[in-house]
Chain A
Amino acid sequence: MRLLGVLARVEALKAVKRPAFWVTVGVFAAFNTIANFAPGSGSERAGFPDAWRGIIEPAINLGPVFLAALMILLFAPEFRWRTARQNVIDGLSKEQFYWAKVLLLAGLVALFFVTSVVIGMLPLVLDPGGGGGAFVEPMDLNYLLGFLVALLLWGTAGLMISALVRAAGAGLGLLFLYFICEQIVTALLSSRWSALERMFDFLPGQLFQTITDSAMYYPEVLARTNAARAERGQDLLVYPELWIPLVAALAYVVLFLGLAYVNMRRRDL
């Protein structure tokens, strides 16, 4: 427990003194605030529990991307500055250094989650709506869970890329290039071989889109979306059972953490 405390303290000190930390969190918070206070967004909320979707929706797409970028910005430079090496020389094992980064990730996930919820709640605090019934419905909890898993998916991807690439610029480039390429490749191949489409649903980028889509959690949103699609003559959206994409995303989380761990153990610093 003492070691965990030391690792957490060290990572917190490294993070909060880094300008990139405040810039990234600040920009994310600003986007989130704008989205929550934009005309129309607040007025649609009648209070809890109906407000939850509006609270999570602006953050669920942006938050994970900002988190992954921040994870790379905080972790990858440790190799260029050779501070990863110095931390080990000072007394950490390579495994302990890795766990310090996992703790950092956990802290950042908590920070992004709490920041999003707090900013999302602000319009309701300033202008309480009517609402009624339970504070939170099961589908809201599922959406919150989806947000958490999405943060973990991108955050662990950022951690793994940092450990593998060991350079912030190249790491950020690789992260975004992968997701862009995945979109292009799956779109091209799916149009030719529709049988591949279901398989592609389990690629990280596609999973991210699935678990961040409010239509998967809220039947009325799905109904509205499908009605619009039907009008346009498009195929109706059909989502698998909720647990399937969430478990698949968590499997990627474990895979990314595992690859980062093995890499940290095996490679010299």
Chain B
Amino acid sequence: MAVIETSGLTKRFPAVLAVDRVSLTVEQGQVFGFLGPNGSGKTTTIGMLMGIIKPTAGTFRLFGAGAPRDLLAARARVGATLETPNFYPYLSGRDNLRIAAAIKGIGKARIEECLEIVGLRGRGKHRFRTYSLGMKQRLALAATMLNDPELIVLDEPANGLDPKGMKEVRDIIRLLADRGKTIFLSSHLLWEVERTCTHVSIVRKGRVVGTGTVAEIVGGEISAVVRAEDDEALFAALKAFPEATSVRASDEGLVVALASDDLAALNRYLAGQGIYVSHLARRHRSLEDAFMDLTGEDGDLGQASLTEFVS
């Protein structure tokens, strides 16, 4: 059963086309990663699903419901948080959950249960503004879990967290996934998504440029990492290699995607060009590689691209 279905979903702001005909389907039980660089339209897409942003065009359904009144009922089966945790800074964590619980029609007992799950029971009486970023993110997770939702939508839940905080968030997501929840996770931390998600969609400039299971997106591409003394000569030689489909720089060296996995042939070719490699190894393609191929972005999305492509 499709939990989320969008068709041609579009949002145009006065100065920018934020979401451009996004069509995707999230099935029940999937842990769905929604990936894209900053400003690629992820939050806007989720905002439309949650009813806080009006689509310019296109349609969407939650649990099969598409009409406004039905959508309101369908949203009762969803727990979501967008971007930064949004709470009243002058209220305690517990009081903030009381507000969310009242809106969702949930009793007090569940508030304590959720605070317990995210490890905030001891800090429940303290004001939200005194929380660390990790605690704020955990409180946001507690709020999404209040109504024991079938679908949990998390927008950048690991934003600003230290490695320990990230692990805690990842553990909670896994716990929820193990309980059979459908999770829609927007993130630009690719290795996080690769570890957590079963399915992904990649968006770039508001458009979906790839969608499928993580294995499908990563694909079976063969690639190799090559290093030599003269990087420029190596780069030129690899570009000219008939079996190479792309070449790009990485921290490990130059990464060449190959049409066949005959690394010996590549080594022979480079030697023939007068280039003797200091390192040649088969390389497993990661989600980050797929992401870079699909979006033309570097894996660290906050920095300028260091990647060069040869198609």
Chain A residues close to B by CB (< 8 Å): 6, 9-10, 13-14, 17-19, 81-83, 85-94, 266, 268-269
Is residue B105 within 8 Å, beta carbon to beta carbon, of the partner chain?
yes
Closest to A88 in B: B52
Give Cα distance in the complex from A19 to B103, angstroms.
23
Which of B52, B75, B89, B103 meets A268, CB within 8 Å? B52
Closest to B140 in A: A86
Closest to B105 in A: A6
Give Cα distance in the complex from A85 to B100, angstroms.
12
**Distance between A262 CB and nearest chain B CB, rounded to angstroms:** 13
Which of A14, A89, A91, A93 meets B82, CB within 8 Å? A89
**Distance between B85 CB and nearest chain A CB, rounded to angstroms:** 9
In the complex, which range does the number of interface residues on chain B fall in?
20 to 34
Contact flag A81-B100 (CB < 8 Å), given A13-B95, A90-B143, A268-B53: no
19 A-B interface contacts by CB (under 8 A): A13-B98, A13-B99, A17-B90, A17-B91, A81-B86, A82-B82, A82-B84, A82-B86, A83-B86, A83-B87, A83-B88, A86-B81, A86-B86, A86-B100, A86-B143, A91-B105, A266-B54, A268-B47, A269-B47
Q: Is the CB of B91 within 8 A of A93?
A: no
Is residue B50 within 8 Å, beta carbon to beta carbon, of the partner chain?
yes
Contact flag A89-B52 (CB < 8 Å), given A6-B102, A6-B103, A14-B99: yes
Contact flag A269-B87 (CB < 8 Å), given A9-B102, A10-B102, A86-B81: no
Which of B87, B95, B104 meets A17, CB within 8 Å? B95
**Distance between B268 CB and nearest chain A CB, rounded to angstroms:** 59
Looking at B68, B75, B80, the one whose CB has the most chain A CB atoms below 10 A away is: B75
Contact flag A94-B104 (CB < 8 Å), given A14-B99, A86-B81: no
Q: Write out, one digit per residue, whether chain B residues 94-125 have a CB within 8 A of any chain A CB (1) or not (0).
A: 01001110111100000000000000000000
Chain B residues close to A by CB (< 8 Å): 47, 50-54, 68, 72, 75-76, 80-84, 86-91, 95, 98-100, 102-105, 143
Q: Is the CB of B103 within 8 A of A18?
A: no
Looking at A10, A13, A89, the one whose CB has the most chain B CB atoms below 10 A away is: A89
Give Cα distance in the complex from A257 to B99, angstroms.
25
Contact flag A268-B54 (CB < 8 Å), given A89-B80, A90-B104: yes
**Distance between B81 CB and nearest chain A CB, rounded to angstroms:** 7
Closest to B87 in A: A83
Give Cα distance in the complex from A19 to B84, angstroms.
24
**Distance between B241 CB and nearest chain A CB, rounded to angstroms:** 50
**Distance between A236 CB and nearest chain B CB, rounded to angstroms:** 52
**Distance between A107 CB and nearest chain B CB, rounded to angstroms:** 16
Which residues of the partner chain B approach A86 to less than 8 Å between Cβ atoms? 81-82, 86-87, 100, 143
> How many pairs of residues, A versus B, come closer than 8 Å at their CB atoms?
77
Give Cα distance in the complex from A266 to B52, angstroms.
10
Give Cα distance in the complex from A266 to B50, angstroms.
15
**Distance between B220 CB and nearest chain A CB, rounded to angstroms:** 39
Q: Is the CB of B51 within 8 A of A18?
A: no
**Distance between A163 CB and nearest chain B CB, rounded to angstroms:** 15
Contact flag A81-B102 (CB < 8 Å), given A90-B143, A268-B52, A269-B52: no
Known pairs A81-B89, A83-B87, A89-B80 / 13 extra A-B pairs, C-beta < 8 Å: A6-B103, A9-B102, A13-B99, A17-B88, A19-B90, A82-B86, A86-B82, A86-B87, A88-B50, A89-B82, A91-B103, A91-B105, A269-B53
**Distance between B89 CB and nearest chain A CB, rounded to angstroms:** 7
Give Cα distance in the complex from A6 to B107, angstroms.
12
Which residues of the partner chain A approach B52 to less than 8 Å between Cβ atoms? 85, 88-89, 94, 268-269
Q: Is the CB of B86 within 8 A of A91?
A: no
Closest 8 CB pairs of A and B: A86-B86, A82-B86, A269-B52, A268-B53, A90-B103, A89-B50, A91-B103, A90-B100
Q: Is the CB of A81 within 8 A of B47?
A: no
Closest to B80 in A: A89
Give Cα distance in the complex from A17 to B88, angstroms.
10
Which of B53, B54, B76 meets A91, CB within 8 Å? B76
Which residues of the partner chain B approach A90 to less than 8 Å between Cβ atoms? 100, 103-104, 143
Which residues of the partner chain A approach B105 to less than 8 Å between Cβ atoms? 6, 91
Closest to A17 in B: B91
Q: Is the CB of B75 within 8 A of A91?
A: yes
Give Cα distance in the complex from A7 to B239, angstroms.
65
Contact flag A92-B99 (CB < 8 Å), given A81-B86, A268-B47, A268-B53: no
Q: Is the CB of A91 within 8 A of B90?
A: no
**Distance between B53 CB and nearest chain A CB, rounded to angstroms:** 4
**Distance between B195 CB and nearest chain A CB, rounded to angstroms:** 26
Which residues of the partner chain B approach A81 to less than 8 Å between Cβ atoms? 86-89
**Distance between B130 CB and nearest chain A CB, rounded to angstroms:** 15
Give Cα distance in the complex from A81 to B103, angstroms.
18
Which residues of the partner chain A approach B98 to less than 8 Å between Cβ atoms? 13
Closest to B146 in A: A90
Give Cα distance in the complex from A100 to B92, angstroms.
21
Looking at A14, A88, A90, the one whose CB has the most chain B CB atoms below 10 A away is: A90
**Distance between A162 CB and nearest chain B CB, rounded to angstroms:** 16
Which residues of the partner chain A approach B53 to less than 8 Å between Cβ atoms? 268-269
Give Cα distance in the complex from A17 to B80, angstroms.
25
**Distance between B258 CB and nearest chain A CB, rounded to angstroms:** 46
Give Cα distance in the complex from A90 to B76, angstroms.
8
